[in-house]
Amino acid sequence: DGGITQSPKYLFRKEGQNVTLSCEQNLNHDAMYWYRQDPGQGLRLIYYSQIVNDFQKGDIAEGYSVSREKKESFPLTVTSAQKNPTAFYLCASSIQGGARETQYFGPGTRLLVL
Amino acid sequence: GNSVTQMEGPVTLSEEAFLTINCTYTATGYPSLFWYVQYPGEGLQLLLKATKADDKGSNKGFEATYRKETTSFHLEKGSVQVSDSAVYFCALSARGANNLFFGTGTRLTVIP
C-alpha span between A62 and A83 (Å, rounded): 10
User: Using an 8 Å Cβ cutoff, are B25 and B68 in contact?
Assistant: no
The model's pLDDT over A60-93, given as tens digits with 9 standing for 90+, comes to: 999 999 999 999 999 999 998 888 999 999 999 9
Residue-level pLDDT at A99: 63
Give B67: exposed, middle or buried? Use CB within 10 Å, 0-12, 13-18, 19+.
middle
Residue-level pLDDT at A47: 96
Residue-level pLDDT at A18: 94
Which residues does chain B have within 8 Å of residue A99's beta carbon, measured at their own beta carbons? 31-32, 93-97
The secondary structure of residue A103, as a DSSP letter, is P
In chain A, the residue whose alpha carbon lies closest to the alpha carbon of B35 is: A102
pLDDT at B7 over 90: no
Question: Cβ of B98 under 8 Å from any chain A Cβ?
Answer: yes
C-alpha span between A29 and A27 (Å, rounded): 5
Residue in A4, A31, A42 closest to B105 by CB:
A42
Which residues does chain A have within 8 Å of residue B103's beta carbon, measured at their own beta carbons? 42
Q: Could A43 and B94 be called an inter-chain contact, meaning their C-beta atoms sit closer than 8 Å?
A: no
C-alpha span between A107 and A21 (Å, rounded): 12
Classify A12 as helix, strand or coil: strand
pLDDT-derived band at A26 (thresholds 50, 70, 90) equals very high
> Which contacts (CB < 8 Å, 24+ apart) does range B64-69 have?
B64/B23, B64/B33, B64/B35, B66/B33, B68/B30
Q: ∠B32-A21-B4 over CA atoms, to 5°?
A: 25
pLDDT at B111 over 90: yes
pLDDT at B20 over 80: yes
Which residues does chain A have within 8 Å of residue B36's beta carbon, measured at their own beta carbons? 105
C-alpha span between B112 and B106 (Å, rounded): 20
Mean pLDDT for the stretch of residues A17-32? 95
User: Using an 8 Å Cβ cutoff, are A91 and A74 in contact?
Assistant: yes
C-alpha span between A80 and A60 (Å, rounded): 15
The model's pLDDT over B78-102, given as tens digits with 9 standing for 90+, comes to: 999 999 999 999 999 887 777 789 9
Mean pLDDT for the stretch of residues A94-114? 85
A–B: how many Cβ contacts below 8 A? 61
Question: Cβ of B52 under 8 Å from any chain A Cβ?
Answer: no
C-alpha span between B85 and B101 (Å, rounded): 23
Classify B29 as helix, strand or coil: coil
